[in-house]
Amino acid sequence: MKRIGFLTSGGDCQSLNATMRGVAKTLYEKIEDVEIIGVLDGYKGLIYGNYKKLNPRDFSGILTEGGTIIGTSRQPFKLMREPDENGMDKVKAMKNNYAKWKLDCLVILGGNGTHKTANLLSEEGLNVVTCPKTIDNDLYGTDMTFGFQSAVNIATAAIDNIHTTASSHSRVFIVEVMGHSVGWLTLHAGIAGGADIVLIPEIPYDIDKVVDAINKRTEQGKKFSILAVAEGALSKEDVKLSKKDIKKKMKMYPSVSYMIGAEIEEKTGQEIRIMVPGHTQRGGIPCPYDRVISSRLGAAAAELIIKEKYGYMVGIRNNEIVPVPLSEVAGKIKAVNPDSSIIREAKNLGICFGD
Protein backbone atom coordinates (compact mmCIF):
# COMPACT_ATOMS: atom_id res chain seq x y z
CA MET A 1 0.00 0.00 0.00
CA LYS A 2 1.12 3.55 -0.73
CA ARG A 3 0.37 6.24 1.84
CA ILE A 4 0.37 9.77 0.44
CA GLY A 5 0.07 13.04 2.34
CA PHE A 6 -1.51 16.21 0.94
CA LEU A 7 -0.52 19.64 2.25
CA THR A 8 -1.64 23.12 1.13
CA SER A 9 0.40 26.07 2.36
CA GLY A 10 0.47 29.86 2.12
CA GLY A 11 -2.38 32.05 0.89
CA ASP A 12 -5.42 30.20 -0.38
CA CYS A 13 -6.61 30.51 -3.97
CA GLN A 14 -8.92 28.94 -6.50
CA SER A 15 -8.17 25.40 -7.68
CA LEU A 16 -6.32 24.07 -4.65
CA ASN A 17 -9.13 21.55 -4.29
CA ALA A 18 -9.22 20.90 -8.03
CA THR A 19 -5.49 20.08 -8.02
CA MET A 20 -5.75 17.73 -5.04
CA ARG A 21 -8.68 16.09 -6.78
CA GLY A 22 -6.50 15.58 -9.87
CA VAL A 23 -3.80 13.88 -7.80
CA ALA A 24 -6.26 11.75 -5.85
CA LYS A 25 -8.35 10.58 -8.82
CA THR A 26 -5.23 9.52 -10.71
CA LEU A 27 -3.82 7.67 -7.69
CA TYR A 28 -7.12 5.88 -7.09
CA GLU A 29 -7.29 5.01 -10.78
CA LYS A 30 -3.72 3.76 -11.14
CA ILE A 31 -2.88 2.24 -7.75
CA GLU A 32 -4.88 -0.64 -6.34
CA ASP A 33 -4.14 0.12 -2.69
CA VAL A 34 -3.59 3.76 -1.74
CA GLU A 35 -4.39 5.79 1.34
CA ILE A 36 -4.42 9.60 1.39
CA ILE A 37 -4.12 11.75 4.48
CA GLY A 38 -4.66 15.49 4.60
CA VAL A 39 -2.17 17.46 6.66
CA LEU A 40 -4.29 20.15 8.32
CA ASP A 41 -3.53 23.87 8.02
CA GLY A 42 -0.32 23.66 6.02
CA TYR A 43 3.11 23.17 7.53
CA LYS A 44 1.62 23.91 10.95
CA GLY A 45 -0.16 20.55 10.76
CA LEU A 46 3.04 18.79 9.72
CA ILE A 47 4.91 20.38 12.64
CA TYR A 48 2.31 19.68 15.31
CA GLY A 49 0.95 16.38 13.99
CA ASN A 50 -2.55 17.37 12.88
CA TYR A 51 -4.06 15.37 10.04
CA LYS A 52 -7.14 13.48 8.90
CA LYS A 53 -7.66 10.51 6.63
CA LEU A 54 -9.28 11.32 3.32
CA ASN A 55 -11.54 9.01 1.32
CA PRO A 56 -12.51 8.98 -2.37
CA ARG A 57 -15.79 10.69 -1.50
CA ASP A 58 -13.85 13.64 -0.04
CA PHE A 59 -12.64 14.45 -3.55
CA SER A 60 -16.09 14.31 -5.11
CA GLY A 61 -17.73 17.65 -5.94
CA ILE A 62 -14.71 19.82 -5.16
CA LEU A 63 -13.58 20.62 -8.72
CA THR A 64 -15.43 23.95 -8.54
CA GLU A 65 -14.92 24.62 -4.83
CA GLY A 66 -12.56 27.44 -3.86
CA GLY A 67 -10.27 27.42 -0.84
CA THR A 68 -8.86 24.16 0.49
CA ILE A 69 -10.64 21.29 2.23
CA ILE A 70 -7.62 20.68 4.47
CA GLY A 71 -6.91 24.27 5.47
CA THR A 72 -3.79 26.35 5.07
CA SER A 73 -1.53 28.74 6.97
CA ARG A 74 1.51 30.92 6.43
CA GLN A 75 4.69 29.57 8.00
CA PRO A 76 7.63 31.83 7.01
CA PHE A 77 10.57 29.88 5.62
CA LYS A 78 13.07 32.10 7.46
CA LEU A 79 11.65 30.82 10.76
CA MET A 80 11.63 27.12 9.89
CA ARG A 81 15.09 26.52 11.33
CA GLU A 82 14.23 28.43 14.49
CA PRO A 83 12.62 26.63 17.47
CA ASP A 84 9.01 27.52 18.28
CA GLU A 85 7.98 29.26 21.51
CA ASN A 86 8.31 25.94 23.36
CA GLY A 87 11.74 25.16 21.95
CA MET A 88 10.50 22.61 19.43
CA ASP A 89 12.75 21.90 16.44
CA LYS A 90 10.26 22.40 13.60
CA VAL A 91 12.23 20.57 10.91
CA LYS A 92 12.80 17.59 13.18
CA ALA A 93 9.11 17.57 14.11
CA MET A 94 8.05 17.54 10.45
CA LYS A 95 10.42 14.68 9.68
CA ASN A 96 9.20 12.73 12.71
CA ASN A 97 5.53 13.12 11.77
CA TYR A 98 6.24 12.12 8.17
CA ALA A 99 7.84 8.92 9.52
CA LYS A 100 5.16 8.40 12.19
CA TRP A 101 2.41 8.57 9.58
CA LYS A 102 4.40 6.16 7.38
CA LEU A 103 4.12 8.38 4.33
CA ASP A 104 5.59 7.29 1.02
CA CYS A 105 5.35 10.81 -0.37
CA LEU A 106 4.15 14.27 0.59
CA VAL A 107 2.33 16.30 -2.09
CA ILE A 108 2.73 20.01 -1.36
CA LEU A 109 0.71 22.74 -3.07
CA GLY A 110 1.99 26.29 -2.70
CA GLY A 111 3.93 29.30 -3.91
CA ASN A 112 7.39 30.74 -3.33
CA GLY A 113 7.75 30.38 0.44
CA THR A 114 6.07 26.99 0.36
CA HIS A 115 8.57 25.73 -2.21
CA LYS A 116 11.54 26.86 -0.14
CA THR A 117 10.34 24.67 2.72
CA ALA A 118 9.41 21.85 0.31
CA ASN A 119 12.97 21.89 -1.01
CA LEU A 120 14.31 21.90 2.55
CA LEU A 121 12.26 18.78 3.36
CA SER A 122 13.43 17.14 0.14
CA GLU A 123 17.04 17.85 1.09
CA GLU A 124 16.31 16.35 4.51
CA GLY A 125 15.38 13.06 2.85
CA LEU A 126 11.60 13.25 2.54
CA ASN A 127 9.88 12.17 -0.67
CA VAL A 128 8.25 15.36 -1.94
CA VAL A 129 6.30 16.30 -5.08
CA THR A 130 4.87 19.79 -5.46
CA CYS A 131 2.28 21.70 -7.52
CA PRO A 132 2.60 25.42 -8.40
CA LYS A 133 -0.02 27.58 -6.68
CA THR A 134 -0.23 31.36 -6.55
CA ILE A 135 -2.47 34.09 -7.92
CA ASP A 136 0.70 36.13 -8.53
CA ASN A 137 2.07 33.73 -11.21
CA ASP A 138 5.57 34.53 -9.91
CA LEU A 139 6.79 30.98 -9.26
CA TYR A 140 10.02 30.20 -11.08
CA GLY A 141 10.14 27.16 -13.36
CA THR A 142 6.58 27.29 -14.69
CA ASP A 143 4.90 29.45 -17.30
CA MET A 144 1.66 29.42 -15.36
CA THR A 145 0.44 28.76 -11.82
CA PHE A 146 -3.06 27.63 -10.95
CA GLY A 147 -5.18 30.34 -9.35
CA PHE A 148 -3.68 33.08 -11.51
CA GLN A 149 -6.25 33.12 -14.31
CA SER A 150 -9.16 33.01 -11.87
CA ALA A 151 -7.70 36.02 -10.04
CA VAL A 152 -7.18 37.81 -13.37
CA ASN A 153 -10.86 37.25 -14.16
CA ILE A 154 -11.95 38.75 -10.84
CA ALA A 155 -9.60 41.74 -11.02
CA THR A 156 -10.65 42.35 -14.63
CA ALA A 157 -14.32 42.26 -13.64
CA ALA A 158 -13.59 44.87 -10.97
CA ILE A 159 -12.03 47.16 -13.58
CA ASP A 160 -14.88 46.46 -16.01
CA ASN A 161 -17.45 47.47 -13.42
CA ILE A 162 -15.65 50.73 -12.66
CA HIS A 163 -15.82 51.97 -16.26
CA THR A 164 -19.45 53.08 -16.22
CA THR A 165 -19.33 54.89 -12.90
CA ALA A 166 -15.99 56.52 -13.80
CA SER A 167 -17.50 57.75 -17.06
CA SER A 168 -20.75 58.89 -15.46
CA HIS A 169 -18.99 60.98 -12.82
CA SER A 170 -15.98 62.06 -14.90
CA ARG A 171 -13.57 60.75 -12.30
CA VAL A 172 -10.20 59.13 -12.02
CA PHE A 173 -10.50 55.66 -10.49
CA ILE A 174 -7.66 53.60 -9.05
CA VAL A 175 -8.24 49.84 -8.82
CA GLU A 176 -5.67 48.26 -6.52
CA VAL A 177 -4.74 44.74 -7.55
CA MET A 178 -2.89 42.16 -5.42
CA GLY A 179 0.84 41.75 -5.99
CA HIS A 180 3.49 42.87 -3.50
CA SER A 181 6.62 41.95 -5.44
CA VAL A 182 5.51 41.24 -9.01
CA GLY A 183 2.97 42.70 -11.39
CA TRP A 184 1.69 39.80 -13.51
CA LEU A 185 -1.83 40.00 -12.10
CA THR A 186 -2.08 43.78 -12.43
CA LEU A 187 -0.57 43.69 -15.93
CA HIS A 188 -2.99 41.08 -17.27
CA ALA A 189 -6.04 42.54 -15.55
CA GLY A 190 -5.05 46.04 -16.64
CA ILE A 191 -4.77 45.04 -20.29
CA ALA A 192 -7.93 42.91 -20.20
CA GLY A 193 -9.90 45.60 -18.36
CA GLY A 194 -8.81 48.45 -20.61
CA ALA A 195 -6.97 50.38 -17.90
CA ASP A 196 -5.32 53.59 -19.12
CA ILE A 197 -2.44 53.43 -16.66
CA VAL A 198 -0.85 50.29 -15.17
CA LEU A 199 1.65 50.56 -12.32
CA ILE A 200 3.62 47.47 -11.33
CA PRO A 201 6.59 46.85 -8.97
CA GLU A 202 8.99 46.01 -11.80
CA ILE A 203 8.62 49.44 -13.42
CA PRO A 204 9.10 52.29 -10.88
CA TYR A 205 6.76 55.13 -11.81
CA ASP A 206 7.18 58.88 -12.09
CA ILE A 207 4.04 60.52 -10.69
CA ASP A 208 4.44 63.40 -13.15
CA LYS A 209 4.33 60.94 -16.06
CA VAL A 210 1.14 59.49 -14.59
CA VAL A 211 -0.38 62.95 -14.27
CA ASP A 212 0.67 63.80 -17.84
CA ALA A 213 -1.16 60.71 -19.09
CA ILE A 214 -4.33 61.74 -17.25
CA ASN A 215 -4.11 65.31 -18.50
CA LYS A 216 -3.59 64.08 -22.06
CA ARG A 217 -6.80 62.07 -21.85
CA THR A 218 -8.66 65.10 -20.50
CA GLU A 219 -7.35 67.25 -23.38
CA GLN A 220 -8.60 64.59 -25.81
CA GLY A 221 -12.09 64.97 -24.40
CA LYS A 222 -11.98 61.73 -22.43
CA LYS A 223 -13.86 62.34 -19.20
CA PHE A 224 -12.31 59.65 -17.03
CA SER A 225 -9.17 57.60 -16.46
CA ILE A 226 -8.66 54.22 -14.83
CA LEU A 227 -5.45 53.12 -13.14
CA ALA A 228 -4.67 49.48 -12.34
CA VAL A 229 -2.13 49.66 -9.51
CA ALA A 230 -0.30 46.72 -7.95
CA GLU A 231 -0.24 46.89 -4.17
CA GLY A 232 3.56 46.76 -4.35
CA ALA A 233 3.98 49.56 -6.92
CA LEU A 234 6.86 51.93 -6.14
CA SER A 235 7.79 55.38 -7.40
CA LYS A 236 11.26 56.11 -8.78
CA GLU A 237 12.00 57.94 -5.53
CA ASP A 238 10.69 55.23 -3.21
CA VAL A 239 12.55 52.42 -4.97
CA LYS A 240 15.76 53.96 -3.62
CA LEU A 241 14.51 53.80 -0.02
CA SER A 242 14.92 50.96 2.45
CA LYS A 243 11.91 48.82 3.31
CA LYS A 244 11.89 50.46 6.76
CA ASP A 245 11.73 53.96 5.28
CA ILE A 246 9.00 52.95 2.82
CA LYS A 247 6.94 51.48 5.65
CA LYS A 248 7.39 54.68 7.64
CA LYS A 249 6.26 56.79 4.69
CA MET A 250 3.24 54.58 4.04
CA LYS A 251 1.93 54.94 7.61
CA MET A 252 0.01 58.00 6.39
CA TYR A 253 -2.02 55.93 3.92
CA PRO A 254 -4.06 52.71 3.98
CA SER A 255 -2.14 51.54 0.89
CA VAL A 256 -0.06 52.78 -2.04
CA SER A 257 -3.17 53.56 -4.09
CA TYR A 258 -4.31 56.14 -1.56
CA MET A 259 -0.91 57.82 -1.69
CA ILE A 260 -0.98 57.89 -5.50
CA GLY A 261 -4.55 59.14 -5.43
CA ALA A 262 -3.69 62.01 -3.09
CA GLU A 263 -0.76 63.04 -5.30
CA ILE A 264 -2.87 62.96 -8.47
CA GLU A 265 -5.69 64.93 -6.84
CA GLU A 266 -3.24 67.58 -5.68
CA LYS A 267 -1.65 67.92 -9.12
CA THR A 268 -4.79 67.75 -11.28
CA GLY A 269 -7.66 68.88 -9.12
CA GLN A 270 -9.69 65.90 -10.35
CA GLU A 271 -11.74 63.74 -8.01
CA ILE A 272 -10.03 60.45 -7.25
CA ARG A 273 -11.74 57.29 -6.05
CA ILE A 274 -10.01 54.13 -4.84
CA MET A 275 -11.39 50.62 -5.21
CA VAL A 276 -9.67 47.62 -3.59
CA PRO A 277 -11.04 44.17 -4.56
CA GLY A 278 -8.70 42.66 -1.96
CA HIS A 279 -9.17 39.04 -1.00
CA THR A 280 -12.06 38.56 -3.41
CA GLN A 281 -9.28 37.95 -5.95
CA ARG A 282 -8.37 34.76 -4.07
CA GLY A 283 -11.87 33.45 -3.62
CA GLY A 284 -14.82 31.90 -5.36
CA ILE A 285 -15.16 29.35 -8.11
CA PRO A 286 -12.04 28.57 -10.19
CA CYS A 287 -12.39 29.49 -13.84
CA PRO A 288 -12.45 26.68 -16.46
CA TYR A 289 -8.84 27.35 -17.48
CA ASP A 290 -7.63 26.82 -13.91
CA ARG A 291 -9.71 23.67 -13.58
CA VAL A 292 -8.07 22.25 -16.68
CA ILE A 293 -4.46 23.02 -15.72
CA SER A 294 -5.10 21.93 -12.12
CA SER A 295 -6.45 18.58 -13.30
CA ARG A 296 -3.44 18.16 -15.59
CA LEU A 297 -0.94 19.18 -12.90
CA GLY A 298 -2.59 16.87 -10.38
CA ALA A 299 -2.50 13.92 -12.76
CA ALA A 300 1.15 14.62 -13.60
CA ALA A 301 2.06 14.83 -9.90
CA ALA A 302 0.43 11.43 -9.35
CA GLU A 303 2.46 9.99 -12.22
CA LEU A 304 5.68 11.12 -10.52
CA ILE A 305 4.54 9.41 -7.31
CA ILE A 306 3.75 6.19 -9.17
CA LYS A 307 7.20 6.29 -10.82
CA GLU A 308 8.76 7.19 -7.43
CA LYS A 309 10.32 10.26 -8.99
CA TYR A 310 10.59 12.64 -6.06
CA GLY A 311 12.08 16.08 -5.45
CA TYR A 312 10.20 17.74 -8.33
CA MET A 313 7.57 20.37 -8.96
CA VAL A 314 5.21 19.74 -11.85
CA GLY A 315 5.32 22.87 -13.99
CA ILE A 316 3.91 24.11 -17.28
CA ARG A 317 6.29 25.00 -20.09
CA ASN A 318 5.02 25.65 -23.62
CA ASN A 319 1.69 24.14 -22.57
CA GLU A 320 3.34 20.84 -21.63
CA ILE A 321 3.53 19.52 -18.07
CA VAL A 322 7.15 18.90 -17.08
CA PRO A 323 8.97 17.93 -13.87
CA VAL A 324 11.19 20.72 -12.54
CA PRO A 325 13.77 19.99 -9.81
CA LEU A 326 12.83 21.71 -6.55
CA SER A 327 16.40 22.97 -6.26
CA GLU A 328 15.80 25.04 -9.41
CA VAL A 329 12.54 26.51 -8.09
CA ALA A 330 13.25 27.32 -4.45
CA GLY A 331 14.25 30.89 -3.67
CA LYS A 332 13.66 32.25 -7.18
CA ILE A 333 10.97 34.62 -8.44
CA LYS A 334 9.59 35.02 -11.95
CA ALA A 335 9.12 38.77 -12.36
CA VAL A 336 7.77 40.81 -15.27
CA ASN A 337 10.61 41.87 -17.58
CA PRO A 338 10.20 45.61 -18.32
CA ASP A 339 11.70 44.96 -21.77
CA SER A 340 9.39 42.04 -22.61
CA SER A 341 7.08 41.97 -25.61
CA ILE A 342 3.93 42.14 -23.49
CA ILE A 343 5.06 45.46 -21.99
CA ARG A 344 6.03 46.79 -25.42
CA GLU A 345 2.68 45.76 -26.86
CA ALA A 346 0.78 47.30 -23.96
CA LYS A 347 2.63 50.57 -24.51
CA ASN A 348 1.77 50.38 -28.22
CA LEU A 349 -1.87 50.29 -27.14
CA GLY A 350 -1.34 53.57 -25.30
CA ILE A 351 -1.12 52.18 -21.77
CA CYS A 352 1.07 54.32 -19.52
CA PHE A 353 3.39 52.58 -17.03
CA GLY A 354 4.57 55.82 -15.44
CA ASP A 355 8.07 55.49 -16.84
pLDDT digits (tens, 9 = 90+) for 144-198: 999 999 999 999 999 999 999 988 888 999 999 999 999 999 999 999 999 999 9
pLDDT band at 338 (very low <50, low <70, confident <90, very high): very high
What value does the mean pLDDT take over residues 107-123?
97
What secondary structure letter does DSSP report for 14? T
The one catalytic residue among 41, 58, 136, 290: 136
Would you identify the CATH topology of the domain 151-282? Rossmann fold (3.40.50)
**3-class DSSP state of 128:** strand
* Rounded Cα distance, 137 and 119, in Å: 19
b (16+ CB within 10 A) / e for 311-335: bbbbbbeeeebebbebeebbeeebb
pLDDT at 351 over 90: yes
CB under 8 A, 24+ apart: contacts of 307-310:
308/127, 309/129, 310/105, 310/122, 310/127, 310/128, 310/129
Residue 8 vs residue 166, higher pLDDT: 8
Report whether CATH 1.10.10.10 matches the domain 2-147+286-329: no
Helix, strand, coil % in the chain, rounded to nearest 5: 45, 20, 40
Mean pLDDT across the chain: 95
pLDDT per residue as tens digits for the range 267-281: 998 889 999 999 999
pLDDT per residue as tens digits for the range 41-90: 999 999 999 999 999 999 999 999 999 999 999 999 998 999 988 899 99
Q: Quick one: pLDDT at residue 353?
A: 98
Q: Quick one: pLDDT at residue 42?
A: 97
* Rounded Cα distance, 188 and 203, in Å: 15
All CATH 3.40.50.450 domain ranges in the chain, comma separated:
2-147+286-329
Is 136 a residue of the active site? yes
Among 183-197, 224-238, 241-255, the minimum mean pLDDT is found in 241-255
* Rounded Cα distance, 95 and 191, in Å: 45
| pTM for this model (two decimals) | 0.94
Query: Cα separations (Å) of 147 from 57, 139, 161, 280?
Result: 24, 12, 21, 12
What value does the mean pLDDT take over residues 198-210?
97
All CATH 3.40.50.460 domain ranges in the chain, comma separated:
151-282
What value does the mean pLDDT take over residues 281-293?
97
Percent of the chain exceeding pLDDT 70 equals: 100
